[in-house]
Amino acid sequence: MSPPLLSVQGLHVSYGPIRALRGIDLQVHAGETVAIVGANGAGKTTLMKALSGLLPLAQGSARFLNHDIHHTPTHILAHAGMLHVPEGRGTLQRMAVEENLRLAWEIRPSAAPFESARDGVYQRFPRLQERCHQLAGNLSGGEQQMLAIARALMNRPQLLLLDEPSMGLSPRYRQELFQILADLRDSGLGILLVEQNVRSALRLAHRAHVLSQGVFTASGAAADMARDPAVVAGYLGHDPFNPNPATA
Protein backbone atom coordinates (compact mmCIF):
# COMPACT_ATOMS: atom_id res chain seq x y z
CA MET A 1 0.00 0.00 0.00
CA SER A 2 1.21 3.48 -0.82
CA PRO A 3 2.09 5.86 2.04
CA PRO A 4 -0.93 7.58 3.59
CA LEU A 5 -1.98 11.07 2.62
CA LEU A 6 -2.47 11.88 6.29
CA SER A 7 -0.62 10.23 9.16
CA VAL A 8 -1.26 11.13 12.80
CA GLN A 9 0.54 9.54 15.76
CA GLY A 10 0.03 10.20 19.46
CA LEU A 11 -1.71 13.52 18.87
CA HIS A 12 -2.52 15.67 21.91
CA VAL A 13 -4.16 19.11 21.74
CA SER A 14 -4.73 21.41 24.71
CA TYR A 15 -6.76 24.50 25.50
CA GLY A 16 -4.68 25.95 28.31
CA PRO A 17 -4.68 23.35 31.10
CA ILE A 18 -7.44 21.32 29.44
CA ARG A 19 -6.25 18.42 27.29
CA ALA A 20 -8.93 18.30 24.56
CA LEU A 21 -7.41 15.41 22.54
CA ARG A 22 -5.26 12.60 23.90
CA GLY A 23 -3.24 10.04 22.01
CA ILE A 24 -5.00 10.20 18.63
CA ASP A 25 -3.65 7.81 15.96
CA LEU A 26 -5.15 8.23 12.51
CA GLN A 27 -4.41 7.56 8.84
CA VAL A 28 -6.18 8.42 5.60
CA HIS A 29 -4.98 6.92 2.32
CA ALA A 30 -5.65 8.12 -1.21
CA GLY A 31 -9.15 7.15 -2.29
CA GLU A 32 -10.23 6.39 1.28
CA THR A 33 -13.02 7.94 3.32
CA VAL A 34 -12.56 7.91 7.09
CA ALA A 35 -15.33 9.08 9.42
CA ILE A 36 -14.93 10.54 12.90
CA VAL A 37 -18.21 10.28 14.80
CA GLY A 38 -19.27 11.17 18.31
CA ALA A 39 -21.35 13.48 20.45
CA ASN A 40 -21.07 17.25 20.76
CA GLY A 41 -18.03 18.24 22.81
CA ALA A 42 -16.13 15.05 22.01
CA GLY A 43 -13.30 16.96 20.32
CA LYS A 44 -14.18 16.44 16.66
CA THR A 45 -13.86 20.06 15.53
CA THR A 46 -10.71 20.47 17.65
CA LEU A 47 -9.19 17.54 15.76
CA MET A 48 -10.02 19.06 12.38
CA LYS A 49 -8.59 22.44 13.36
CA ALA A 50 -5.39 20.79 14.59
CA LEU A 51 -5.02 18.80 11.38
CA SER A 52 -5.46 21.88 9.20
CA GLY A 53 -2.85 23.81 11.19
CA LEU A 54 -5.29 26.13 12.99
CA LEU A 55 -4.43 24.79 16.46
CA PRO A 56 -0.98 23.88 17.80
CA LEU A 57 -0.15 20.33 18.80
CA ALA A 58 0.74 19.80 22.44
CA GLN A 59 2.29 16.41 21.70
CA GLY A 60 2.60 13.87 18.91
CA SER A 61 2.96 14.27 15.16
CA ALA A 62 0.75 14.89 12.15
CA ARG A 63 1.87 14.82 8.53
CA PHE A 64 0.16 15.49 5.22
CA LEU A 65 2.28 13.92 2.48
CA ASN A 66 5.76 15.33 3.19
CA HIS A 67 4.51 18.30 5.25
CA ASP A 68 4.81 18.44 9.03
CA ILE A 69 1.43 19.96 9.89
CA HIS A 70 2.69 21.42 13.17
CA HIS A 71 5.28 23.53 11.34
CA THR A 72 3.44 24.26 8.07
CA PRO A 73 1.13 27.27 7.62
CA THR A 74 -2.48 26.46 6.77
CA HIS A 75 -2.30 28.13 3.36
CA ILE A 76 0.71 25.99 2.41
CA LEU A 77 -1.20 22.84 3.39
CA ALA A 78 -4.11 24.01 1.26
CA HIS A 79 -1.81 24.73 -1.67
CA ALA A 80 -0.33 21.24 -1.29
CA GLY A 81 -3.79 19.69 -1.61
CA MET A 82 -5.37 19.43 1.85
CA LEU A 83 -8.56 21.50 1.96
CA HIS A 84 -10.64 22.07 5.09
CA VAL A 85 -14.36 22.84 4.82
CA PRO A 86 -15.11 24.07 8.36
CA GLU A 87 -18.27 23.82 10.38
CA GLY A 88 -20.34 26.86 9.43
CA ARG A 89 -19.44 26.58 5.72
CA GLY A 90 -17.11 29.56 5.33
CA THR A 91 -18.36 31.10 2.09
CA LEU A 92 -17.91 34.78 1.23
CA GLN A 93 -21.44 35.97 1.88
CA ARG A 94 -21.33 39.25 -0.05
CA MET A 95 -19.86 37.75 -3.18
CA ALA A 96 -21.77 35.90 -5.89
CA VAL A 97 -21.47 32.14 -6.29
CA GLU A 98 -19.22 32.45 -9.33
CA GLU A 99 -17.06 35.07 -7.62
CA ASN A 100 -16.56 32.65 -4.72
CA LEU A 101 -15.45 29.96 -7.16
CA ARG A 102 -13.12 32.29 -9.07
CA LEU A 103 -11.41 33.47 -5.89
CA ALA A 104 -10.88 29.85 -4.82
CA TRP A 105 -9.40 28.98 -8.23
CA GLU A 106 -7.04 31.97 -8.12
CA ILE A 107 -5.53 30.69 -4.88
CA ARG A 108 -4.29 27.59 -6.72
CA PRO A 109 -4.88 28.12 -10.45
CA SER A 110 -4.77 25.12 -12.73
CA ALA A 111 -3.16 24.89 -16.16
CA ALA A 112 -6.67 24.85 -17.61
CA PRO A 113 -8.61 28.13 -17.56
CA PHE A 114 -11.00 29.02 -14.75
CA GLU A 115 -14.01 28.34 -16.95
CA SER A 116 -12.99 24.71 -17.36
CA ALA A 117 -12.63 24.18 -13.61
CA ARG A 118 -15.87 26.05 -12.97
CA ASP A 119 -17.81 23.96 -15.47
CA GLY A 120 -16.52 20.77 -13.87
CA VAL A 121 -17.81 21.95 -10.49
CA TYR A 122 -21.15 22.96 -12.01
CA GLN A 123 -21.56 19.42 -13.35
CA ARG A 124 -21.45 18.17 -9.76
CA PHE A 125 -23.53 21.03 -8.40
CA PRO A 126 -26.04 22.07 -11.07
CA ARG A 127 -28.00 24.12 -8.54
CA LEU A 128 -24.96 26.37 -8.12
CA GLN A 129 -24.89 27.01 -11.85
CA GLU A 130 -28.54 28.06 -11.69
CA ARG A 131 -27.60 30.52 -8.94
CA CYS A 132 -24.19 31.56 -10.28
CA HIS A 133 -24.95 35.31 -10.04
CA GLN A 134 -26.70 35.11 -6.66
CA LEU A 135 -24.95 36.31 -3.50
CA ALA A 136 -23.71 33.43 -1.36
CA GLY A 137 -25.43 34.94 1.68
CA ASN A 138 -28.80 34.62 -0.05
CA LEU A 139 -28.46 30.88 -0.71
CA SER A 140 -30.22 28.30 1.39
CA GLY A 141 -28.19 26.42 4.01
CA GLY A 142 -27.89 23.39 1.76
CA GLU A 143 -26.77 25.49 -1.19
CA GLN A 144 -24.18 27.28 0.96
CA GLN A 145 -22.78 23.93 2.03
CA MET A 146 -22.54 22.84 -1.60
CA LEU A 147 -20.77 26.10 -2.43
CA ALA A 148 -18.29 25.56 0.41
CA ILE A 149 -17.42 22.11 -0.93
CA ALA A 150 -17.33 23.41 -4.50
CA ARG A 151 -14.85 26.10 -3.46
CA ALA A 152 -12.59 23.42 -2.01
CA LEU A 153 -12.85 21.32 -5.18
CA MET A 154 -11.70 24.31 -7.24
CA ASN A 155 -8.33 23.88 -5.49
CA ARG A 156 -7.98 20.29 -6.77
CA PRO A 157 -7.59 18.66 -3.34
CA GLN A 158 -6.04 15.29 -2.65
CA LEU A 159 -7.56 15.25 0.84
CA LEU A 160 -10.79 16.94 1.89
CA LEU A 161 -11.48 17.62 5.58
CA LEU A 162 -15.22 18.02 6.13
CA ASP A 163 -16.44 19.24 9.52
CA GLU A 164 -20.15 18.53 10.15
CA PRO A 165 -21.25 19.09 6.53
CA SER A 166 -24.86 18.03 7.17
CA MET A 167 -25.42 20.23 10.23
CA GLY A 168 -28.61 22.26 9.95
CA LEU A 169 -29.64 20.82 6.59
CA SER A 170 -33.11 19.59 5.72
CA PRO A 171 -33.55 15.84 5.08
CA ARG A 172 -33.68 16.54 1.34
CA TYR A 173 -30.40 18.43 1.31
CA ARG A 174 -28.75 15.89 3.64
CA GLN A 175 -29.60 13.11 1.22
CA GLU A 176 -28.32 15.12 -1.74
CA LEU A 177 -25.14 16.07 0.11
CA PHE A 178 -24.26 12.49 1.03
CA GLN A 179 -24.84 11.39 -2.57
CA ILE A 180 -22.36 14.07 -3.71
CA LEU A 181 -19.87 12.88 -1.07
CA ALA A 182 -20.31 9.29 -2.26
CA ASP A 183 -19.53 10.40 -5.82
CA LEU A 184 -16.40 12.20 -4.60
CA ARG A 185 -15.36 9.11 -2.61
CA ASP A 186 -15.83 6.92 -5.69
CA SER A 187 -13.77 9.35 -7.79
CA GLY A 188 -10.73 8.53 -5.61
CA LEU A 189 -10.62 11.64 -3.43
CA GLY A 190 -9.36 11.14 0.12
CA ILE A 191 -11.96 12.33 2.66
CA LEU A 192 -11.79 12.80 6.42
CA LEU A 193 -15.34 13.37 7.62
CA VAL A 194 -16.49 14.62 11.02
CA GLU A 195 -20.21 14.05 11.31
CA GLN A 196 -23.02 13.74 13.86
CA ASN A 197 -25.32 12.01 11.37
CA VAL A 198 -23.81 8.70 12.42
CA ARG A 199 -25.51 6.19 10.17
CA SER A 200 -25.04 8.26 7.02
CA ALA A 201 -21.36 8.75 7.90
CA LEU A 202 -20.83 5.03 8.45
CA ARG A 203 -22.58 4.17 5.19
CA LEU A 204 -20.27 6.57 3.36
CA ALA A 205 -16.94 5.71 4.98
CA HIS A 206 -14.51 2.86 4.55
CA ARG A 207 -13.24 3.12 8.13
CA ALA A 208 -14.44 4.98 11.20
CA HIS A 209 -13.38 6.08 14.66
CA VAL A 210 -15.63 6.96 17.59
CA LEU A 211 -14.33 10.00 19.47
CA SER A 212 -15.45 10.42 23.07
CA GLN A 213 -14.01 12.95 25.53
CA GLY A 214 -10.89 13.45 23.46
CA VAL A 215 -9.95 9.81 22.81
CA PHE A 216 -10.87 7.17 20.25
CA THR A 217 -13.04 4.60 22.02
CA ALA A 218 -13.77 2.41 18.99
CA SER A 219 -12.22 2.00 15.55
CA GLY A 220 -12.73 -0.32 12.63
CA ALA A 221 -14.38 -0.94 9.29
CA ALA A 222 -17.34 1.42 9.00
CA ALA A 223 -19.68 -1.32 7.79
CA ASP A 224 -18.85 -3.50 10.79
CA MET A 225 -19.36 -0.63 13.20
CA ALA A 226 -22.72 0.23 11.65
CA ARG A 227 -23.91 -3.34 12.32
CA ASP A 228 -22.53 -3.56 15.85
CA PRO A 229 -25.33 -2.79 18.35
CA ALA A 230 -22.80 -2.39 21.15
CA VAL A 231 -21.06 0.41 19.26
CA VAL A 232 -24.33 2.11 18.36
CA ALA A 233 -25.78 1.87 21.87
CA GLY A 234 -22.60 2.25 23.89
CA TYR A 235 -20.72 4.91 21.95
CA LEU A 236 -23.01 6.64 19.48
CA GLY A 237 -26.19 6.98 21.49
CA HIS A 238 -29.46 8.19 20.03
CA ASP A 239 -29.29 9.24 16.38
CA PRO A 240 -31.57 12.28 15.95
CA PHE A 241 -31.74 11.67 12.20
CA ASN A 242 -33.07 8.13 12.63
CA PRO A 243 -35.08 7.61 15.80
CA ASN A 244 -35.84 4.04 14.74
CA PRO A 245 -32.50 2.21 14.36
CA ALA A 246 -34.25 -0.83 12.93
CA THR A 247 -34.85 1.14 9.71
CA ALA A 248 -31.19 2.09 9.29
DSSP codes of every residue in the chain: -PPPSEEEEEEEEEETTEEEEEEEEEEE-TT-EEEEE--TTSSHHHHHHHHTTSS--SEEEEEETTEEGGGS-HHHHHHHTEEEE-TT----TTSBHHHHHHHHHHHS--SS-HHHHHHHHHHH-HHHHHTTTSBGGGS-HHHHHHHHHHHHHTT--SEEEEESTTTT--HHHHHHHHHHHHHHHHTT-EEEEEES-HHHHHHH-SEEEEEETTEEEEEEEHHHHHH-HHHIIIII---TT-S-GGG-
Model confidence pLDDT, tens digit, residues 232-247: 675 555 444 344 433 3
Confidence check: pLDDT of 226 > 80: yes
Confidence check: pLDDT of 40 > 90: no
Mean pLDDT over all residues of the chain? Answer: 88
Task: Map out the domains of the chain with their CATH numbers.
Answer: 6-236 (3.40.50.300)
Q: Structure pTM?
A: 0.89
What is residue 72's predicted lDDT score, i.e. its pLDDT?
A: 93
Model confidence pLDDT, tens digit, residues 62-87: 999 989 999 999 889 998 999 999 88
